[in-house]
Structure 1
Amino acid sequence: MAAPRAVWKGFLKVGSVSCGVKLVGATSEAGKVHFKILNRKDGLPVKSAYVDEGTGDIVETEDQTKGFELDKGDFVEIEPDEIKKLKLTSQHTLEVGEFVDIADIDTRYLEKPYYVIPADGAAVEAFSVLREAMKKKRVAARSCVVLYQRGREVVIQPFGKGMLLTELRTHNEMVSEKSVFDDLKSPKYDKDLLEIAELLIEKKVTKFDPSKFEDTYEDALIAMIDAKRKGKKPPKPAPRPKENVIDLASVLKKSLAKEGIERTPKAKSATKESA
């Protein structure tokens, strides 16, 4: 098996302790269905190109540069070499400024994961000591790193024999939950319905097992492509749910029966009778 390809190499630094590390992508798009854009007239693939907004002419790669828009139509040009000359510590060092309790991490901010491994044999001891200390304290390290010419805030936590680094969304990217939830009303509901809902949930509680996850949309795409390749009709789409929940009590009870769940009399009812 080929060694994993590192997307970043540098140092993990905690105080005076540092060790060489590598980041390896923890996700892959290799198994996804990818489409190409075709010319409907001749069925051949088409290429994307950058076009000058003024002349409509294609701009070749060597003539392209980056620009930041100050005002409408007023740009300051930035050359790629000028960006490369920005000597940021985070380009080659994951310097840990603080540790946070893993349980306190808001999962909304977690974005893309990478595996962290020692860069070489000389780094294994320091790497292992840092990982085990973090594991015992149940904390994650907070740091930042430059990946693909962009600074990214990250958290690093113990994971198996290595560590897991996860890119974080910034606070400015998040939509406040108050702007979404504040207008929601809390209706009064029958506690009996809550008990039925709890029974349904208990029946379906299991362990978190991503190996059983299925991308039904991806599966449907593959089935459609296979049918077209064989000259057959594509599979029929799944029917949309027709049942609207008008009588919640009857719908919940029907769900109980479908799952084979029997309700037992409440203990407090028996207590009232004896009293």
Structure 2
Amino acid sequence: MGHLTVGRAPGAAGTSERPAPVSSEPPVRVEHLCKEFGPVKALSDISFEAAGGEILGLLGPNGAGKTTLLHILLGLTTPTSGSAQIMGLDLATQREEILTRVNFSSAYTALPHNLTVRENLTVFAYLYEAREPRRKVQQLLEAFEIADLADRLTGRLSSGQLTRVNLCKSLINDPLVLLLDEPTASLDPDVADKVRRLLTKIRADRGLTVLYTSHNMREVEEVCDRVLFIHRGKVHAEGTPGALLDRFQSDCLEDVFLALTRDGSLYEDGSR
């Protein structure tokens, strides 16, 4: 995919130009997080940290609690108990400041259908006070190879095209923490590979911290530095892809996934 410069010009105004805060705190810290929807425990005592520049995979079956966790980190859902910090800021009391440093993309997020691709992205660029918003939008369109779609109504896009527009949106404010919910789910293999390469390059260039959900185990092995397996609202295993393969004596993460989800009761204490 196209080249994308992800940086800040000195002396420019706007959210995208603020310097990254100097902090000894991990970019993402979650402590004893619980979320209940009536009698359903969506998350149960989840704790983890994500380091600067790390791509952390969040894996688990549908209903495991992955999306609920992302929604909490975005401030869309309030936890029943526990805490979360982004860049050392407490989500419960500093949500507005946190949201200038975070962004999100999902293969399933809808955008206003009656606006063109360029109009949608320009709106977000102004909302995030990006430097040179029109230039930033064009840069992202070219990086994700959808500049030819700029003036098409968003409602007329295919699912794969809309996924790439959402990915453009997620980088419009040069976030420090990026939450990606199945970012390549609707992409053909060639485009998905290009998107993965672009995301890993942006991560390397900026030290971006990424939380990454996917049902594509091969993709997770390729992209993620570390993995959390979540099942029934709890973390059942964590480690690098290689370490997990060794621990479970498996050749691929899919076998680990199946072992954990088909008999999760074996791992209630987080061990095998």
TM-score class normalised by the smaller sequence: under 0.3
With the length of structure 1 as denominator, give the TM-score of the two structures. 0.22
Greater RCO (CA < 8 Å, at least 6 residues apart): 2
